[in-house]
Amino acid sequence: MNTITARKPFLRRYIFSTDHHVIGLQYLILALVAVAIGTTMSLLMRIHLVWPDLILPGHGPILPEDYLALVTLHGTMMLFFVLTTAPQSGFGNLILPAQIGSRTMAFPRLNATSFWLTAIALLTLLSSTLVQGGAAISGWTAYPPLSAVASAGPGQALGMDLWLASIVLFAVASTAASINTLVTIIKLRCDGMTWDRLPLTVWGWFTAALLSILAFSVLLAALVMLFADRHAGTSFFLPAGDLVSGTLHTGGNGSPLLWLQLFWFFGHPEVYIAILPGMGLTSMLLANFSRRRVFAYRTMILTTLLIGFLGILVWGHHMFVAGLNPFAGTAFSISTIAIALPAAAKVLSWLATIWRSRPQLTTPMLFALGFVSLFLTGGLTGPILAQPILDQYLHNTFFVVAHFHLIMAMAGVFGLFAGAYYWFPLLSASSKNPAGRIMSESLGRWHFWGSFLGAYATFLPMHITGLAGEPRHYAQLTGIPGSAAAHLLATGSIPLQKHITYGAIFLASAQMLFLWNLIRSTRRGEYAPENPWQATTLEWHPDLAPFAPPSASNETIAVHHAPCTYGDTSFLTQWSPGDKPE
């Protein structure tokens, strides 16, 4: 992305830029750093579970507090700094304005501020590994009193404060970014871009932004309350008489359950924020490479909104056995099962879109198909977990870890890969080479198959160890004191552990192909032809490309069609005035 567009100094052009393309790239680079660190951490966890005596060079053995810090950082980084950041803020900045026919985001300075807050948030989180006591150990959900009392464990003093500070910054940045997204979509659509002509990706970004504003503001309130409990003597989450490591809480009488309510009111929408843009992109890619319109386009818009709406009504399914009234469990069970229907409607539409279409199996298409498969597989265990009587057995076992890694982590990452391969020409565009480059298809295909098989090899067996009774957040499975517990683990889950770890190593290794492809293609990939995938959406409009020649930029951009209009052999872009596919 070397550019000669302006005579602005380097810093202003690349670092403190208000150009949404640059900001989008910055977000993607940040997410790439986070996913690399987060993956390394997950491998350390997996390796430790299988070879507990391994000595880490320069560190020593992995102690229980190290393991828990790894879980906490892995989960926090992956969810916030990868799956929220890359699709919503990364691709959202790079692609969204062009997809609606706009040349900018609504608030460029706010946009840059959001990015820098996010970057500081990531640094704050990472810095917590260096302080006394290490990083926080209470998981990405940070349940109090564990997270509210500094003496509750290693890392729960300064490490926990840094975690809180990091997430506060992130929440502020996300809220600002989401307002930006919403205003951009509502105000900056070009002529003819009616709501029912909006690409489904934009609907994904739109719904995710709505959810972000709602969810992150509640999280922000909860974080501030927790901060006050830790440092200002309040008792939102601490009951009277609570005794942690010899510290008796004699202040007011609060309840940890309040945190659970607030946290999950945020936490469940958060996973939809992470996945909705991927769902939108998948819909568009399946149609594009099948040369066919999206089956039931309007229903797809409706289900996106419905998933968003129901998404804020289901948080209690994380609390079936947390001490909630059992009747509330029933209500949340029903709302959760209900959300399976719009999700299933999406899967049906995807299947119908590609049905007997002989699609072109390009790398982005493969990843979109992988998204469908993983979303489906992970999704099928959702209704099981939504039944409180079954959750009373499965809650906090590896069955849950399997479920959310398939539906959220893997499907989410596949959505990101689909986006990266698909939009790479726009990502790599420069003023010298406005059409950009294209990533290597053969490397991409190897990368896809490695990731696809690796994802299943790693996460399918976790269902089995969960059913066999393996709880999550266990720093060790061997050498635990209780005879019955040791027996339970040894007969049930331990036999499969090595397999899972090999799967994870294989999965992570396959990502080297992506990194290699990325580096190689950026520097000497094939030049992309104009609109290389014969897409119909506006981001491929020659005037809207990231470094389009300024001469072209005076033309007004208008839209004449719904996206994904294809004839048997031809395609009709949204911006071409003709009323039939040629």
Partner 1 sequence: MPQLASLLTITWPLPADASAHGPALDLHLFRNLWIALGLFALAHLLLLIGLLRSRRGNPYGDDRKHLWQIEYLPLTALALLFIFLTVQAERLWAAARYTGADPAALQIEVTGMQFAWYFRYPGVDATFGAIQPQLISAAEGNPLGIDPADSHGHDDFITSELVLPAGREVDLRLHAQDVIHGFAIPEMRLKQNAVPGETVHIHFTPVTPGTYAILCTQLCGTGHYRMNANLSVLTPAAFADWLATHEKVQR
Residue 555 CA to its chain's centroid (Å): 36
Residues between 50 and 79 with contacts to ligand HEM, criterion CB under 6 A: 71-72, 74-75, 78-79
The only residue of 359, 503, 546, 563 in contact with partner 1, by rule CB under 8 A: 359
Under the binding rule (CB under 6 A), the answer on residue 472 touching ligand HEM is yes
Under the binding rule (CB under 8 A), the answer on residue 464 touching partner 1 is yes
Residues between 473 and 502 with contacts to ligand HEM, criterion CB under 6 A: 473
The only residue of 110, 443, 457, 488 in contact with partner 1, by rule CB under 8 A: 488
Query: Contact region for partner 1 (CB under 8 A) — 173-181, 411-419, 486-494, 553-561?
Result: 486-494
Cβ-based nearer residue to partner 1, 232 or 248:
248
d(CA 231, CA 222): 14
Cβ-based nearer residue to partner 1, 12 or 59:
59
Least separation in angstroms between residue 441's CB and ligand HEM is: 24
The CA angle 565-570-574, to the nearest 5 degrees, is 35
d(CA 44, CA 65): 13
Report DSSP letters for 200-225, one per residue.
HHHHHHHHHHHHHHHHHHHHHHHHHH
341 binds, among ligand HEM, partner 1, none (CB under 5 to 8 A by kind): partner 1
Under the binding rule (CB under 8 A), the answer on residue 128 touching partner 1 is no
Residues between 328 and 347 with contacts to partner 1, criterion CB under 8 A: 329-330, 333-334, 337, 340-341, 344-345, 347
Closest CA to 531 of 435, 455, 404, 418: 435
Under the binding rule (CB under 6 A), the answer on residue 275 touching ligand HEM is no
Under the binding rule (CB under 8 A), the answer on residue 581 touching partner 1 is no
Quickly list H helices, 147-296: 158-187, 200-231, 256-290
Cβ-based nearer residue to ligand HEM, 40 or 253:
40
Provide the sign of the torsion angle of the four alpha carbons 315, 318, 324, 326, taken in this order. positive
The only residue of 406, 508, 545, 548 in contact with ligand HEM, by rule CB under 6 A: 508
Type of residue numbered 542: P
Least separation in angstroms between residue 138's CB and ligand HEM is: 8
Cβ-based nearer residue to partner 1, 214 or 366:
366
Cβ-based nearer residue to ligand HEM, 83 or 284:
83
Residues between 409 and 448 with contacts to ligand HEM, criterion CB under 6 A: 409, 412-413
Q: Classify residue 97 as exposed, middle or buried by CB count within 10 Å of its CB (0-12, 13-18, 19+).
A: buried
190 binds, among partner 1, ligand HEM, none (CB under 5 to 8 A by kind): none
Under the binding rule (CB under 6 A), the answer on residue 276 touching ligand HEM is no
Least separation in angstroms between residue 310's CB and partner 1 is: 14
Q: Is the peptide bond before 481 cis (omega within 30 degrees of 0)?
A: no
Under the binding rule (CB under 6 A), the answer on residue 106 touching ligand HEM is no
**CB 414 within 8 Å of CB 357:** no
Residues between 354 and 413 with contacts to ligand HEM, criterion CB under 6 A: 401, 405, 408-409, 412-413
Closest CA to 170 of 239, 102, 270: 270
Q: x/- string (CB under 8 A) for partner 1, residues 506-545?
A: ----------------------------------------
Under the binding rule (CB under 8 A), the answer on residue 580 touching partner 1 is no
Under the binding rule (CB under 8 A), the answer on residue 362 touching partner 1 is no
d(CA 343, CA 172): 29
Residue 219 CA neighbour count, 13 Å, CB half: 31
d(CA 332, CA 561): 41
Under the binding rule (CB under 6 A), the answer on residue 463 touching ligand HEM is no
Under the binding rule (CB under 8 A), the answer on residue 52 touching partner 1 is no
d(CA 560, CA 575): 6
Cβ-based nearer residue to ligand HEM, 417 or 547:
417
Question: Other CB atoms closer than 10 Å to residue 557's CB: what's the count?
Answer: 20
Pairing of strands 60-61, 55-56: antiparallel
Cβ-based nearer residue to partner 1, 337 or 453:
337
Quickly list H helices, 291-325: 297-311
Query: Contact region for ligand HEM (CB under 6 A) — 37-45, 214-222, 366-374, 539-547?
Result: 37-45
For 434-473, give one letter per residue: b (16+ CB within 10 A) or e: bbbbbbbbebbebbbebbbebbbbbbebbbbbbbbbbbee
Residues between 382 and 401 with contacts to partner 1, criterion CB under 8 A: 383-384, 387-390, 392-393, 395-397
Least separation in angstroms between residue 273's CB and partner 1 is: 23
Report DSSP letters for 455-522, one per residue.
HHHHHHHHHHHHHTTPBSS-S-SSS-S-HHHHHHHHHTTHHHHHHHHHHHHHHHHHHHHHHHHHHHHH
Counts for the chain of helices (H) and strands (E), in that order: 18, 8
Closest CA to 439 of 528, 541, 545, 530: 528
35: tokens are 């996913």
Cβ-based nearer residue to ligand HEM, 415 or 546:
415
Under the binding rule (CB under 6 A), the answer on residue 45 touching ligand HEM is yes
Least separation in angstroms between residue 69's CB and ligand HEM is: 10
Cβ-based nearer residue to ligand HEM, 161 or 270:
270
Summarize as ranges the residues that interact with ligand HEM (CB under 6 A): 39, 42, 45-46, 71-72, 74-75, 78-79, 82-83, 139-140, 401, 405, 408-409, 412-413, 458, 472-473, 504, 507-508
